[in-house]
Amino acid sequence: MNNIFQLSIIISMLSGMIRIGTPILLAALGELVTERAGILNLGVEGIMLTGAFVGFLVANQTGSIPLALLAAMIAGGVMSLIMAFMAATLKVNQVVTGLALNLLASGITFYWYRVAFTGVSVTPTIEIMKVVKIPFLSNIPVIGEVLFSQHLLTYFTFLMVPAIWYFMNKTKYGLEIRSLGENPRAIDIKGINVTRLQYLATIFGGIMGGLGGAFLTIVSAGIFLPDMSAGRGWLAIVVVISGNWQPFGMVLAAFVFSFFEAFQLQAQSLGVQFPYELLLALPYVIAIIFLVVSRARSEAPAQLGEPYHRE
Amino acid sequence: MESSTPLLQTIKLTKHFGGVIANKDVSFDIKPGEIHCLLGENGAGKTTLAECLYGYYYPDGGEIWFKQERVNIASPHDAIKLGIGMVHQHFILVRPLSVIENIIVGTDAAQLFLNLSTASKKVEQLCRDYDISLDLSAKIWQLSVGEQQWVEILKALFVGIKLLILDEPTAVLTPQEAEKLFVILRKMKASGLSILFITHKLHEVLEVSDRVTVLRKGEKVATVFTPDVDRAELAKMMVGREVFFRVNKETLQPGDPVLEVINLRAKNDRGQESLCGISMNIRAGEIVGIAGISGNGQKDLFESIVGVKPVHSGNIRFSGQDITNKPVHAIASLGMAHIPEDRLKEGLVPEFSVAENLMLGLHKHRFFKIWGGLVDAKEVKTFADTCIKDFDIVTPSSGHTTRNLSGGNIQKVIIARELSGHPKCLVANQPTRGLDVGAIEYVHTQLLNQCKAGTAILIISDDLDEIMNLADRILVIFKGRIVGELDPQTASRQEIGLLMAGCVDGEQL
Amino acid sequence: MNVLGLTFEKREQSSRLWQLLMVLLAIIFALVLSGLLIFLSGADVGKAFAGLYGGAFGTRKALIETLVKATPLILTGLAAVIAFRGKVMNIGAEGQFLAGAMAGYWAILTFSWMSPFFYFSMILFFAFIGGAICGLIPGLLKGLLKVDETIVTVMMNYVVEFVLSFLLSGPWQAAGKFYKFSEEIPTSAHYGLVFPNTRLHYGFIVALVTTIIVYWILQKTRLGYEIRSIGLNPAASKFKGINVPRTIITIMLISGGIAGLGGIGEVIGIQHRMRMDISNGAGFTGIIIAMLAGLNPLAVVIVAIFMGGLLNGSNRMQIFSNVPTALVYAMQAIVLLSLLAFQVLAKYRIRRAAGNE
């Protein structure tokens, strides 16, 4: 047990926390925009899975990581397009639609994986992205290793946090989206196309979710496993709630969740005898606690999940 | 400075919803630089008319002319483009956003990269022009209701409207805030804007308007120059002449008090006091009518008695027992029946069959055998058939889906359910709202029969005719208090109208 | 008004028929889309569907195996029906399924000394309780604290799964084995077979009985009346004295319990041990089944058999045409999505017609 408190271990853990939290945070940032527009997209899990698979497939077939990332983003966008159509145009029950999307993704990715790799005896792999150390910054003791020796996608995620904040608070479209989720009538009156805005916000969420999913295969695992998103999409949704729909608050929530997984991985690799499953369950228990605590003061968009009817 | 060419004109504007006529052949006009009041009781059609001007509703007949051109206003966006703005009773604001954000969203002032400072300057200038003091960066939820209203007004001013419609703007304001509003309106008038001010408060009409158009039951009574009329005349126009027909009502000797409300205080959903110390009682065999403009605490009084709404002070006694804050079914089992305001939302389950709805509430103690394990289909059917027969419900069968019945028959289902048990007390909130004449007659007959049978009845209604016809005593509610008790045999509509508007002994409450 | 009345009446009379039509349309659409997917993958569509159908309903043996696959789905479908009827979004059937299995397994270990009748009763009883407790937590949170149950139930799924994983790696792990499953359960704890030499176990009968019970509860009891009432109009229910929070909690208890019965059924009927994969997504499939069945418990059986057929037939489909079995999961999702879409389109047409006053 002494080992666990050695600095190198802690650094390794924190670094893992950042790495593991990236996909969750990416998807959460996307979901944030979607929810601010009033659409509750519970299909994030499926979108991440789709991104993971498509990214993997394209990387495997073409060897090009940029292409794979792009494909993952498009795939996520397409999945979320279904959500947008069902929620904004047809105005059906968003919760059930999201669930159906998850199941759809689960089935299709597994199916297509099998189809693409029939008869292959060795588990297909791809070359994962390498860590990119930022010059100078990565030499800072502790922080340098934790924050600045990560993958490009992680740096991208870091940048996206303030970028999304800026977009939502300082741009015209951000203002319209924020208004949408709270009171669609207010901007409908002003002649803004509510449906179109909801589509855009949802598709953006899907793109981010797809990208987050791609991280799982292209950066972390290098292989694809069925249902490998393993609840991260749900955690992303909880991250949005716990972060009170604010990008900076969400960062904290995402890393609280990923900390436990990183901790558990570290403990496992050190051979520490601790029921690691219970640690794995912790993020979900904490998520429930967050939900209970934040039910009163939450800044959820007032019309979240409610289809908007003009009458 | 008066110009004679009107800014806006309606010619025989008509609007109906299903079978109900909300506006009939209303023709009036608004001049530039004028404050024009639209006066009438609830249900007179004021808001509907305004919404037609604002594009929320599309008129079924008649014309709208703006700046000497015939216009077609199909949406609020069209109205705003023309230069017509509206401030609703329920503000259309985005609560978590700031004042300036609410004002500029969707306008040309909202550039891709928001530059709030330019827009802020313009809004600040407007504020100076109209003597409004507002922190533009404050969030809407932080503002008082009066200040939120200013934001709505600024929204309209910002895009340069020529006509501003205000729907009952002082309904949610304190007297001081109302005064402040009038100052702003006068300044707007001075700069050439027109204002259509919808209200039911007589003193406001006299204080602030140049002309007033009075509506009654969807039709225009008259348009007059305000200096030419006084409060009494306005009240008469608003509530109408004496009605000559009266329901044949026997005067009975009422019994002992069945329901007593003692100094009841309750808060509404927003945390404000909506019942401010109500005291009243209802005796067996008597009908007490509560008259008042809706929004003065009627709904909360109704819900407190029924048991749906918690009260924080005061008592309600029913048949000698204290039922304050007791659960609904406990109160019901003591013999309390109720007819709620919204038939479909609060009165029954529209997708249930008629028989199932007749059981609702009564199902706690009847219709099931073996401790609720088995429905007694025979009892259900017998009861349903009896109700259908006794209360004349028109339905293909007791298994028919309730939603498909006519409004009047839906109300019959509720009445049958509530009255079949010969309740000791019945409270009814707007029991004839939205019903046709035949159905209204039916409801009234039922209520009178029940009264004869000894039930204590409380009827809350926006319709003064109804109250005058049915009640033995009339209580007028205003801002959560009973401000007067009148005898319908001797009181004039004028008197009642004044009390409804909050004018007690010449004082405005 | 007359025209309006006529339009509505038409809808009411044909609503059952209309519902059925929408479901059929959705299934057809899903089949077409799946056919497209199969075609795009280069496989033979005809062979695939032939294999699917044959494997599902083609022979007596296939049909019986379809019923086997349908058994847990009937129960999770019923669990979803009871919850959704009360507008309680219980997405936690997956976890309640496992929790019931776990509690039942514990009972298997603990009460093996009892006589068969009591032993079995204990097993089923605890399975129900296990699922019910798993459902109680979100139920209490919603009823008392007004916390939305949708995400809480999903989170519970993961928590339960990890608890099971923990148990199967430790105290319950089969001695000396590396994989996460338990020892075999004693034969006295096995479900008997409905037909000898098949896999159809009494769990199927339990599922059918539960169907009748759920139907009974919803249509014939006071509780069911109140459940339906709050599901259709919580405001009016409150006005007429129904205790909405208490009913919600009751719903979650029953829903969780039924899912739990599904879980233990797989343990004592099929697997005869505790494993990680006894559910195979049954909880989520149950939700799809409930929606397709129009929240009607009796229809759940039919839809569950159809779904069971899909799952069963997928094996043969794979053998015949190399189409991976995973396709049927995608098919299920497509059916649900298309059903939602078609239902809206149908409503829209009727409303348009009614709007011409």
pLDDT category at B93 given cuts 50, 70, 90 is very high
pLDDT category at B34 given cuts 50, 70, 90 is very high
B interface test, pick of C228, C240, C295 with most B CB neighbours within 10 Å: C240
C247 vs B: CB within 8 A = no
Domain with C261 in it: 70-300
Sign (positive or negative) of CA dihedral C196, C200, C203, C209 = negative
CATH superfamily, domain at B255-335+424-509:
P-loop containing nucleotide triphosphate hydrolases (3.40.50.300)
Whether the CB-CB separation of A67 and A123 falls below 8 Å is answered with no
Residue A298 belongs to some domain of the structure: no
Residue C139 belongs to some domain of the structure: yes
The beta-carbon neighbor of B401 closest among C12, C222, C236 is C12
Helices and strands in chain B: count of H runs, count of E runs:
16, 24
Residue A300 belongs to some domain of the structure: no
Number of domains in chain A: 1
Residue extents of the structural domains in chain B: 8-239, 255-335+424-509, 341-420
Residue A311 belongs to some domain of the structure: no
Between CA B381 and CA B235 the distance in angstroms is 51
Q: What is the distance in angstroms between the Cα of A2 and the nearest Cα belonging to chain B?
A: 49
B interface test, pick of C18, C222, C223 with most B CB neighbours within 10 Å: C222
Residue A308 belongs to some domain of the structure: no
Question: In CATH terms, is domain B8-239 a member of 3.30.365.10?
Answer: no
Chain A: partners with 3+ C-beta pairs within 8 Å: B, C
| CB-based contacts of A143-149 (< 8 A; 24+ apart in sequence) | A145/A11, A145/A15, A146/A11, A146/A14, A146/A15, A146/A18, A147/A18, A149/A15
User: CA of C165: which chain A residue's CA is closest?
Assistant: A277
DSSP code for B353: B
Q: Cβ contact (<8 Å) for B107 and A190?
A: yes
Please report the number of interchain residue pairs, chain A to chain C, with beta-carbon separation below 8 angstroms. 134
Q: Cβ contact (<8 Å) for A284 and C91?
A: no
% of residues, chain B, pLDDT over 70 = 96
Number of domains in chain C: 1
Contacting C residues, span 94-123, partner chain A, CB-CB under 8 Å: none
pLDDT at A298 (0 to 100):
66
Residue C328 belongs to some domain of the structure: no
- Find which of B91-100, B144-153, C208-217 is predicted with most confidence, using mean pLDDT: C208-217
Whether the CB-CB separation of B260 and B317 falls below 8 Å is answered with yes
Residue C43 belongs to some domain of the structure: no
pLDDT at A267 (0 to 100):
79
Residue C118 belongs to some domain of the structure: yes
Token digits for B490? 């001797």
User: CA of C230: which chain B residue's CA is closest?
Assistant: B349
Residue C311 belongs to some domain of the structure: no
Q: Cβ contact (<8 Å) for C151 and A241?
A: yes
Residue A305 belongs to some domain of the structure: no
Place of tokens 């403009």: B293
pLDDT at B263 (0 to 100):
93
A90 vs C: CB within 8 A = yes
Beta-bridge partner residues of B337: B426
pLDDT at A3 (0 to 100):
52
C324 vs B: CB within 8 A = no
Question: What is the full DSSP assignment across B364-375?
Answer: GTSSEETTTTEE
**Whole-number average pLDDT of chain B:** 87
Place of tokens 């001007």: B53
List chain B residues with CB under 8 Å of C351.
none
Sign (positive or negative) of CA dihedral B411, B412, B415, B416 = negative
pLDDT at B107 (0 to 100):
86
CATH number at residue A133: 1.10.3470
For residue C256, count CB atoms less than 10 angstroms from its CB and return exposed for 0-12, middle for 13-18, buried for 19 or more: buried
Residue C21 belongs to some domain of the structure: no
Token digits for A257? 């969740």
CA distances to A37, A74, A82, A206, A258 from A211, rounded to whole Å, are: 20, 9, 17, 8, 18
pLDDT at A2 (0 to 100):
56
Contacting A residues, span 243-282, partner chain C, CB-CB under 8 Å: 275, 277-278, 280-281
- Indicate the helix (H) or strand (E) that contains B225: strand B219-225
pLDDT at B501 (0 to 100):
75
Residue C64 belongs to some domain of the structure: no
DSSP code for B92: -
Between CA A281 and CA C73 the distance in angstroms is 26
Whether the CB-CB separation of A40 and A303 falls below 8 Å is answered with no
Token digits for C115? 């006589």
Residue C254 belongs to some domain of the structure: yes
The beta-carbon neighbor of A189 closest among B77, B97, B110 is B77
Q: Which residues of A203-224 are buried (b: 16+ CB within 10 A; e: fewer)?
A: bbbbbbbbbbbbbbbbbbbbeb
Residue A48 belongs to some domain of the structure: yes
List CB contacts of A139: < 8 A, sequence separation 6 or more. none
Domain with A94 in it: 3-293
**Whole-number average pLDDT of chain C:** 88
A183 vs B: CB within 8 A = yes
DSSP code for B112: S
pLDDT category at B244 given cuts 50, 70, 90 is very low
C159: left (phi over 0), alpha (psi -120 to 50) or beta: alpha
What's the mean pLDDT in B107-128?
Answer: 86
List CB contacts of B223: < 8 A, sequence separation 6 or more. B28, B211, B212, B213, B214
pLDDT category at B232 given cuts 50, 70, 90 is confident
- Using DSSP's 3-state secondary structure scheme, residue C94 falls into helix
Q: Cβ contact (<8 Å) for A292 and C147?
A: yes
CA–CA–CA angle C34, C36, C39 (5° rounding) = 110
**What would the pLDDT profile of C279-309 be if each residue is shown by its tens digit?**
988 999 999 999 999 899 999 999 999 999 9
% of residues, chain B, pLDDT over 90 = 48
pLDDT category at C204 given cuts 50, 70, 90 is very high
Q: Cβ contact (<8 Å) for A175 and B113?
A: no
pLDDT (tens place) for every residue of chain A, 311 residues total: 555 567 888 888 899 999 999 999 999 999 999 999 999 999 999 999 999 999 999 999 998 899 999 999 999 999 999 999 999 999 999 999 999 999 999 999 999 998 888 877 788 888 888 888 888 777 777 777 788 888 888 999 999 999 999 999 999 999 999 999 999 989 888 888 999 999 999 999 999 999 999 999 998 888 898 889 888 999 999 899 888 889 998 999 899 889 888 888 887 777 777 777 887 888 889 889 988 887 765 678 888 888 888 75
Whether the CB-CB separation of B348 and B357 falls below 8 Å is answered with yes
Q: Cβ contact (<8 Å) for A115 and C41?
A: yes
Q: Per 3-state DSSP, what percentage of chain A is helix, strand, and coil (rounded to 5)?
A: 70, 0, 25
Between CA A103 and CA B242 the distance in angstroms is 69
- Higher model confidence: residue B103 or residue A124? B103
List chain C residues with CB under 8 Å of A231.
158
A57 vs C: CB within 8 A = no
Token digits for B129? 């022009």
pLDDT category at B243 given cuts 50, 70, 90 is very low
